[in-house]
Amino acid sequence: MIDAIQAISVILILGITILIAKLIAPYIARVYNRAPSRLDKIVNPVENFIYKICSIDPSHSMGWKQYFLVGLLLNVAQMVIAFLILIFQGNLPLNPLGFHGLSWDLSLNTVISFGTNTNLQHYNGEATLSIFSQMTAIQFLQWTSAATGICMGIAFIRGFIVGSKNMGNFHVDFVRTITRILLPMCLTASVVFIVMGVPQTLNASTTVTTLQGTTQSILVGPVASLDSIMQLGTNGGGFYGANAAYPFMNPSPYSNVFMIALMLLLPTALIFVFGDLLGKKREARPLLWGAYILFGINLAIAFAPTIPLIAPGIETRIGGFMSSFYTVATTAATTGSVNSALSGMHPLTITSGFLGMFIQSIPGGKGIGMMYMVMYIIITVFIVGLMSGRTPEYLGIKITGRDVKLVMVSFLIHPIIILVPTVIAYASGAASAIGVGGNSVGYTQIFYEFTSAAANNGSDFLGASGNTPFFNIATAIVIFIGRFAPLAILLALSGSMIGRKRGGTSGLKTDSPIFTIVLVASIIILVVLTFFPFLALGPISSFFRGLTNGF
């Protein structure tokens, strides 16, 4: 079982990450309140130039529909540009290895995946993409998709603020997110990665002499910069096919810990920003406590087997314990980067990964994770209101039947877009047409593929073997719906809160420890009722077979 040193290391990593998130939250809140900052002298001219050449009126305010549509159209336009780059890669510069353009279906899957913050990779980056494609298509979309998620989360919060009249301006929020949050944080993280030994170069390869005296060509590139936005933006798409299991992306236990902290940082910070922008910091408590209680439950499930987990295919440079911790973090934050082979993980570790992607708010992706937790709070308030005979209220706002319908539709989209394509994959024979490592693909792998796509997570069992027309197109559709449908519905929910009458505190007190316990229980019950039968067919049945036959 997990020993004292390992337990202390988990507590320290999570504790320090939460502390840093709390410290940077007031700065993030000031960015979106457009409060004066020391960066203004440097950044304001840049931002004003962008507004001018793009004909943006920074004073223009948007309702939820316009805010969402502007964000959607901007993201689609960026995907089109990236699609053309990947298709015509062979004719573009910075392609010293002479890679050809990608097929249309793989290009479509890749741009939708990266443009929605999912980063599912049906290719091996170092053997498929040029330096130009990695920088102008892959990393570009990682920046913009991360900024979009944060902007949508901020707009969602504005709907609940007392006296709020609109959702803000997407263009302004988008620009300020990149210039004032992502750029300085990613520059700092990139320097740290370079110091740790991660390469950052425009050369495609370097030649080294091995211990045996022979020469070897090693593929390199702008890896450190991709590492930073990949983890900080909860993207997850790696420069190499092996992702963070590759030594040049994740060279040491220190870089491994740094990656875990980065992927949890902004989703956690936005929980504190929720309280700061509302002017009610206590209301951030159930979001934070609920997220990390569920995170702790996931860790307990993943660490239940003997540690370290020594199994075929598992990454052993860092060890089974940190690989399991990383897997829980990357699925809980819907990042999707991996530092080990999922096929080598214990079934309980895979189960914890499923739970993180089902719930999507422990703490979830930046922006959307916080939105999902508020969705769960509204569901819980409604259920408790029915049981106690009280009118359900949240933040002094009466919860109407329309509100409950919106959150339930948002919740039900997730299982539908997971289960339907999983069934189609088997009914059409697409699942049996591919294999991983010479072995046939099992139910768990296919179920995980579509769960990861729907949750905008991106980790998967298939990797490059998923590069078939069916899986490229099917997962692209699931990814697109899984990203933008919940955003639209939850923004509609938030937009409907603007202008509503606010009551006193006669409703359920939502900032108490008791409510947090009820919230966690409600989330677990909802997830278990929805997904347990399908988990029972996959990793849970594998676990019991392992008990019978011996792992």
Which residue blocks in 178-284 are alpha helix, DSSP H? 183-196, 223-232, 253-278
Residue 167's SS3 state is coil
Tokens in use for 497?
A: 């809160």
Contact 426, 450 (CB under 8 A): no
Instruction: List for the chain the helix, strand, coil content (%; round to 5).
Output: 65, 5, 30
pLDDT of residue 87 exceeding 90, the answer is yes
Please give the structure tokens belonging to residue 361. 């708010």
> Which tokens go with 429?
């024979």
Report residue 397: phi and psi, to 5°.
-105, 130
Q: Distance of CA 383 to CAs 344, 391, 509, 519, Å?
A: 40, 10, 14, 10
Spatial CB neighbours of 402, under 8 Å, sequence gap ≥ 6: 496
Mean of per-residue pLDDT scores for the chain: 90
How would DSSP label each residue in 35-103? ---TTHHHHHHHHHHHHHHTT--TT----HHHHHHHHHHHHHHHHHHHHHHHHTGGGSSS-TT-PPPPP
* Residue 471's pLDDT band (cuts 50, 70, 90): very high
Span 328-369, pLDDT tens digits: 999 999 999 998 888 878 888 899 999 999 999 999 999 999
Percent of the chain with pLDDT over 70: 93
- pLDDT higher than 60, residue 314: no
Spatial contact of 190 and 227, defined as CB atoms under 8 Å apart = yes
Distance separating alpha carbons of residues 511 and 160, to the nearest angstrom: 15
The amino acid occupying position 66 is Q
Cis before 308? omega within 30: yes
The answer to whether the beta carbons of residues 544 and 371 sit under 8 Å apart is: no
pLDDT of residue 310: 47
Is the peptide bond prior to 247 cis by the omega test (within 30 degrees of 0)? no
pLDDT the model gives residue 317: 61
Q: Which amino acid is at 158?
A: R
Q: Determine the Cα angle at 473 with ends 113 and 364, to 5°.
A: 35
Task: Report helix, strand or coil for 286.
Answer: helix
Which token pair is 375? 């969705």
- Indicate whether 206 pLDDT > 90: no
Query: CA angle at residue 234 from 231 to 235, to 5 degrees?
Result: 85
Kindly list the domain boundaries of the chain, sorted by start residue.
4-549
As given in the structure block, the two tokens for residue 320 are 């089974």
| H or E element, residue 9 | helix 4-32
Indicate if the alpha-carbon torsion angle 339, 483, 278, 375 is positive or negative: negative
Task: Pick the more confident residue, 120 or 204.
Answer: 120
Most confident range, picked from 381-395, 400-414, 507-521: 400-414
435 SS3 class: strand
The secondary structure of residue 355, as a DSSP letter, is: H
Q: Is the pLDDT of residue 100 over 80?
A: yes
| Each residue's pLDDT tens digit, 421-434 | 999 998 888 888 77
β-bridge mates for residue 207, sequence order: 217
In this structure, are residues 14 and 333 in contact, taking their beta carbons and an 8 Å threshold?
no
Confidence band for 22, pLDDT divided at 50, 70 and 90: very high
Residue with tokens 């092996």: 242
Question: d(Cα 263, Cα 323) in Å, to the nearest integer?
Answer: 15
**Average pLDDT rounded to a whole number, residues 87-94:** 94
423-449: average pLDDT: 80
pLDDT, average across residues 99-112: 96
Contact assessment for residue 393 and residue 508, using Cβ atoms and an 8 Å cutoff: yes
Is the confidence at residue 550, as pLDDT, over 90?
Answer: no
